[in-house]
Structure 1
Amino acid sequence: MSAIYRADFNLWIQQTAQLLRSHRWHEIDVEHLIAEVEDLGKSERRGITSQLTRLLLHLLKWQYQPQRRSDSWLDSITDARTQIDLALKDSPSLKGYPIEQLEESYQRARRQAVKQTGMLISVFPEECTYSLELILDEDWLPE
C-alpha cells in the first residue's frame, strides 16, 4: 500500500476506504493513514486562519478606504464569516481557535492591506482594534 500511496494518492484513498469497510485491518497502510488523519485537523485549522485573515483584510479596507467600498468586499466579508461559522459548527472543539489566531491573522491582513491599498503600514493600528465577537458578527462593519 505504501507504493500506491506515493504513486496514486486517490487510488490509495479508495483502497484504504475499501479495506476499512471490509474490516481488513492487517492490510491497511496505518502509517500513512495516521498522517492523513492528522493532516485533516491541520487543514481545518489552516482554513479558519485563512478565512480570518481574509475577513480582517476586507474589514481593514472597508474602514480605511471608504471611497472604494464595493459589493465584492461585502461578499468577501460575508463569505469569510460563513466559512468560519461552518468550520466551527463542523468542529466545535476549534471554537477557541480563532481567538488564538487573531493577532497573527491580523498582522498578516495588515501587511496585505498595505500591499493592496498602497497605504503606509502606520495607517493601520499595530494591534487589532476589533473584538472577535464584532469580527464574526454578520451585522457589523467598521465605520
Structure 2
Amino acid sequence: MVAQVTKNQTNLYDTDYNLWVLETVKKLENRDLDSLDWENLIEEVLDLSKRDKRKITSLLMKLIEHLLILQYWECETERNRGHWEREILNFRLQIIEELEDSPSLNNHLNSKFLDCYQKGRKLASKHSQLPLNIFPEKPIALIEQILDENWLP
C-alpha cells in the first residue's frame, strides 16, 4: 500500500506539478506526514536554495555589466546614463532585498564575486559591442562598493 501511494505521488509530481504542490501543502497542513512524497519534497526544498543562489548571482552579473557600461561606453553615456543608473539601483535594491531575506547568501555572493565580474565583463562587451579588453580584467571596485547605493564609477 505504501509503495502504491509513493508511486501515485511520484506520478502526480511528473504529470501535474502544480497539483502535486497543492496536495503536498494540504498534507503538510494536516500533518499527514506518512503520505508525503518525501523524495520529491526534499529535492524541491533543496532547489529553493539553488534558485536563490542563481538569482542573486544573476543580479550581481547584471549590476556589474551596467556599472562597466556606465564607466566605459563613453559615446552612449550622455544619452543612456539615466537608464543605466536606474538599472544599477534596481539591481542593487534586489540584491539587498535578497540578502535581507537570506543573510547567508552573502557568503555565496562573496565566493562568486570574481566569477560574476568576469561574466558581467562579457555581458558589457556584448551589450556595447566594445572589445572585451576595454573592460578591466580585475574588478573595478570591491563588492562592498559595487553594492553601495551611493557609489558609481
TM-score range, shorter chain: over 0.9
Q: Counterparts of 1:107 and 1:28 in 2: how far apart (Å)? A: 43
Across the aligned residues of Structure 1 and Structure 2, the Cα RMSD in angstroms comes to 1.0
When the two structures are superposed, what TM-score results if normalisation uses the length of structure 1?
A: 0.95
Matching of residue 127 in structure 1 with residue 135 in structure 2: no
Letter in 2 for 1:23: R
Unaligned 5+ runs, structure 2: 1-8
Q: 1:110 aligns with which of 121, 127, 136?
A: 121
Unaligned 5+ runs, structure 1: none
Tell me which structure has the larger Cα radius of gyration. 2
Cα drift, residue 68 of structure 1: 1.9
Q: Counterparts of 1:19 and 1:91 in 2: how far apart (Å)? A: 27
- Per-residue Cα deviation, 1:109-134 (whole angstroms, up to 9, x for no partner): 11111111121111111121211111
Name the residue aligned to 1:81. 92
Matched pairs, number: 142
Cα drift, residue 74 of structure 1: 1.4
- Per-residue Cα deviation, 1:25-77 (whole angstroms, up to 9, x for no partner): 11100000000000000000001100000000000000002442322211211
When the two structures are superposed, what TM-score results if normalisation uses the length of structure 2?
A: 0.89
Q: What fraction of aligned residue pairs are identical, expressed as a percent?
A: 38
Map 1:1-16 → 2, pairs under 5 A: 1-16=9-24
Name the residue aligned to 2:55. 47
Matching of residue 21 in structure 1 with residue 29 in structure 2: yes
Partner SS for 1:140: coil
Q: Counterparts of 2:115 and 2:21 in 1: how far apart (Å)? A: 34
Map 1:29-68 → 2, pairs under 5 A: 29-68=37-76
